Amino acid sequence: MADKIKLFVNEVEVEVEAGKNLIDAIGAVGIEIPHLCYHPALGADGNCRMCLVGIKDGRPPLVPACKTRAMEGMKVLLDAEHIKKIQHDVMEFELINHPIDCPVCDQAGECKLQDYYMSYDQQGSRMTVPQVTKGKKLDFGSGVIHDQERCVVCGRCVRFCRQITKTGELGAINRSDDTRINIFPGRPLNNRYALNVVDLCPVGAMTSSDFRFKQRVWFLKKAPDICHGCAKGCNITIDHNRQKYEDDIIYRFRPLFNEQVNGYFMCDEGRLSYKQENNGRLTEARTSNNPRSINEILAASTKEIERAEKIVIALSPNCSLEQMVTVKALSDKLGATLTGYSEGYIKQGDGDDYLIQDDKSANRAGLHLLKIDNSLNTFENAMQEADLLLNFNNELTLSFEKRELSRLLNDTKVIAVTSHDTPLTAMADMAIPVASYSEYAGSVVNSDNILQSFGKAITKNIDLDDISIIAAKLGSPLQTPAERFAALQQIISALNEFEPDKIPAEGLNLNNSEAANVTA
Amino acid sequence: MSDRSQLISTGKPFQYDQERDAEFERLVKRYPMRESMILPALWLIQEQEGWVSQEAIAYAADRIGTFASKVYEAATFYTMYHLQPMGENHICICRTLSCWLRGKQEIVDYLENEIGIKPGQISKNGKFSLEEVECLGHCGTAPVVQVNGEFHEDMSMDKLKSLLATLK
């Protein structure tokens, strides 16, 4: 833990973390200092002047909190008349040329200008001269739409592109009240993290072409989750809503801060992967592509499993640890060959040195932890003799050409337990629909060996079972969540310290404990 | 201030001539960071072409090895960079204190009348453009007029008339 210091805010003593600036230090204990341009990931720019505070130690009457480090015994003034006056005045400046188009603005409801107007301004316009007009709905590329009139020129987007992605597409053009954010002609936003500028924008100047005009943000329900787009496991907020008479639909993913995984950001591909949770889903059980009830197919599957002599069970590297351990127990009971072979999930060379990983699956490290074989050899050899393939959401068409896959599956019955209606589902003799990751709780281990838990974010109208429940129904000895967690505790010693559902939000770093475990 | 964000494209790639190329390489050694070359690089462009085009900004950015957006920022921030072609004779009249007190307005009024344009405009035939500028550093010999970078000091109406005659 960081050192603590004591200081005074409006003459009340508070204990805060040392070494931070006033916005972060005091903000962490629930006292907000208004600010537009400062962002912890982008540093203090000091251009918006919204965070001016007073400090009673003989320095000038107003100092920017973003550039002032919290010190022991500091006397910070937030509610003095001259501070309220400056906040009021800065807001008046910010709003001089603002179009006030909140009724059609996507940011309404999560807009700093709106919030600060209500908290610090609350006055009518005194302007008698015409407003400065600027560019509207400019397409900056990468799905970012910009409105120069709504912009407060805090420069967060400019700094993001220069400091984080180092692509520098954006600039603050002109000067004084004509300043506007723009791209250089012919050089649009062209990086894989561009949509983060939409989150960073404190006002409605940057909007996402994918999300704009879809939902008012105050209707959206928010649920924390883990992105399953690659092995990084970025923390996300799922914004979803069930409109009257409709199903629960996900409208967007936004990055959720986790210092040891993704910081404040996520990649665009992962952000837009919410669509795969909404679309292309398998919702009905099928046999030979004819719909049946799930119970009928489960009964038929149980019969097939009893009849079969050589069973291969394939697991997706996206499955949660709980699902893997349940399926593994089922496999052990049946004497089946268990494989996690999924080479097709890896896009060699696609990753970068920031967040994006080559491996497009969320829990390959989990396969390794549970010692589940993932070699091609084992899979192919086992398939030679198998008369039943029980596939848990492993999209084999990613790893094999269709013709090769047909050859492998020849003379083999295929039961596909699957969340999506994929080419493999079409090839299967029986298909059982299951929940996708936004619809179940579980834990995954990312590429840095950090174990992260996530809850059930979405409840669909048809609330499908997840893979561990289906595996239990097919006879896995691990019938309850408690049994599954206990089985995981046997394998992952770091879990012994925790109750189920009590794994810390920032994740468990397994590097130390598990390395020790393996050598012992 | 006005909006200077609309750059003009010539449709042709830009390149320094031999002399400016050498000057660029001479200057770049002066600075610990290549980005410091943004302003000098823009000056060299303006010296060569008389104005700064979209292609020239892209050229400068690539030559320096910085983001085009940064050079775009600098070029639009400083009004001394011309982002459109100026007149064949670009006349700058100093409007800072000494020149103002010594009668710059008379000069401006005369030129406006003779050429038929206001400061900030370009004559229709492209021969003249007028601009009022800040201190040119020749206060001791005010008022001062600059034609295509060349100084004409201690301007009187007589001197101005004969100067204009040589330009027409």
- Per-residue pLDDT, B168: 80
Instruction: Report chain B residues whose CB lies below 8 A from the CB of A171.
Output: 67, 69-70, 72-73
Of B1, B9, B61, the CB nearest to A175: B1
| Secondary structure of A312-365 as H, E, C letters | EEEECCCCCHHHHHHHHHHHHHHCCEEECCCHHHECCCCCCCCCCCCECCCCHH
Query: Has residue B161 got a pLDDT over 60?
Result: yes
Measured between its terminal Cα atoms, the distance across chain B in Å is: 31
- In a domain, residue B135? The reply is yes
- CA atoms of B159 and B168, how far apart (whole Å): 14
CA distances from A21 to A7, A64, A338 (A): 13, 10, 53
AA letter at A310: K
- In a domain, residue B2? The reply is no
Instruction: Report chain B residues whose CB lies below 8 A from the CB of A181.
Output: none
Sign of the alpha-carbon dihedral angle for A275, A279, A284, A289: negative
- Per-residue pLDDT, A520: 38
Q: CB distance B3–A174 less than 8 Å?
A: yes
Domain identity same for B56 and B104: no
CB of B1 within 8 Å of any CB in chain A? yes
Q: Are B18 and B46 in contact (CB under 8 A)?
A: no
Distance from the Cα of B66 to chain A's closest Cα (Å) equals: 9
Is the domain spanning A102-126+134-208 CATH 3.30.70.20? The answer is yes
Q: CB distance B69–A180 less than 8 Å?
A: no
Query: Has residue B1 got a pLDDT over 90?
Result: no
Of A162, A171, A176, the CB nearest to B72: A171
Domain identity same for B41 and B109: no
- Per-residue pLDDT, A105: 95
Domain identity same for B28 and B48: yes
Task: Quote the radius of gyration of chain A (alpha carbons, Å).
Answer: 27
Task: Quote the radius of gyration of chain B (alpha carbons, Å).
Answer: 17
Q: CB distance A178–B70 less than 8 Å?
A: no
- Per-residue pLDDT, A58: 86
Is the domain spanning A285-519 CATH 3.40.50.740? The answer is yes
Q: CB distance B70–A168 less than 8 Å?
A: yes
What are the contacts of A7-10 at 24+ separation with CB within 8 A?
A: A7/A70, A7/A71, A7/A72, A7/A73, A7/A74, A7/A75, A7/A76, A8/A73, A8/A74, A8/A75, A8/A76, A9/A76, A9/A78, A10/A76, A10/A77, A10/A78, A10/A79
- Per-residue pLDDT, A519: 40
Of A134, A176, A183, the CB nearest to B69: A183
Domain identity same for B37 and B73: yes
Fold of A4-95: Ubiquitin-like (UB roll) (3.10.20)
- Per-residue pLDDT, A516: 45
Which residue in chain B is spatially nearest to A183 when comparing CA positions?
B69
- In a domain, residue B128? The reply is yes
Of B5, B9, B66, the CB nearest to A173: B5
Which residue in chain B is spatially nearest to A189 when comparing CA positions?
B69
| Secondary structure of A456-515 as H, E, C letters | CCCCCCCCCCCHHHHHHHCCCCCCCHHHHHHHHHHHCHHHHHCCCCCCCCCCEEHHHHHH
AA letter at A299: A
Q: What is the pLDDT of residues A277-335, one digit of tens each?
A: 999 999 999 998 899 999 999 999 999 999 999 999 999 999 999 999 999 999 999 99
Q: Of A120, A36, A121, A110, which is closest to residue A78 (Cα–Cα)? A: A120
- Domain(s) of CATH 3.40.50.740: residues in chain A: 285-519
Q: How many structural domains comprise chain B?
A: 2
Helices (H), A32-119: 81-95, 112-116
CB of A504 within 8 Å of any CB in chain B? no
Per-residue pLDDT tens listing for chain A (520 residues)? 578 999 999 999 999 999 999 999 999 999 999 999 999 999 999 999 999 999 998 888 899 999 999 999 999 999 999 999 999 999 999 999 999 999 999 999 999 999 999 999 988 889 888 999 999 999 999 999 999 999 999 999 999 999 999 999 999 999 999 999 999 999 999 999 999 999 999 999 999 999 999 999 999 999 999 999 999 999 999 999 999 999 999 999 999 999 999 999 999 999 999 999 999 999 999 998 899 999 999 999 999 999 999 999 999 999 999 999 999 999 999 999 999 999 999 999 999 999 999 999 999 999 999 999 999 999 999 999 999 999 999 999 999 999 999 999 988 999 999 999 999 999 999 999 999 999 999 999 999 999 999 999 999 999 999 999 999 999 999 999 999 999 999 999 999 988 888 889 999 999 876 554 544 3
Q: Name the token pair of A272.
A: 């837009």
Q: What is the pLDDT of residues B2-54, one digit of tens each?
A: 899 999 999 999 999 999 999 999 999 999 999 999 999 999 999 999 999 99
* Range B153-159 average pLDDT: 95
pTM: 0.93
- CA atoms of A334 and A310, how far apart (whole Å): 9
Q: CB distance B69–A168 less than 8 Å?
A: yes
Q: What dihedral angle (degrees, nearest 10) is formed by the CA atoms of A278, A284, A288, A293? A: 170
Domain range enclosing B157? 89-167
- In a domain, residue B134? The reply is yes
Of B9, B54, B73, the CB nearest to A172: B73
Q: What is the pLDDT of residues A233-254, one digit of tens each?
A: 999 999 999 999 999 999 999 9
Give me the phi and psi of B158, to 5 degrees please.
-60, -50
Share of chain B above pLDDT 70, in %: 99
Cα angle for residues B97, B100, B106 (degrees, 5° grid): 175
Give me the phi and psi of A226, to 5 degrees please.
-120, 130
Q: CB distance B67–A168 less than 8 Å?
A: yes
Q: Are A315 and A324 in contact (CB under 8 A)?
A: yes
What CATH number is associated with residue B27? 1.10.10.1590
Residue labelled with tokens 């603002």: A98
CB of A173 within 8 Å of any CB in chain B? yes
- Per-residue pLDDT, A513: 62
- In a domain, residue B49? The reply is yes
Instruction: Report chain A residues whose CB lies below 8 A from the CB of B73.
Output: 171-173
Instruction: Report chain A residues whose CB lies below 8 A from the CB of B70.
Output: 168, 171
- Per-residue pLDDT, A138: 97
Instruction: Choose, out of A174, A176, A180, A197, the residue to mutate when testing the contact with B (most B CBs < 10 Å).
Output: A174
Q: Identify how many contiguous H helices and E strands chain B contains and give both numbers.
A: 7, 4
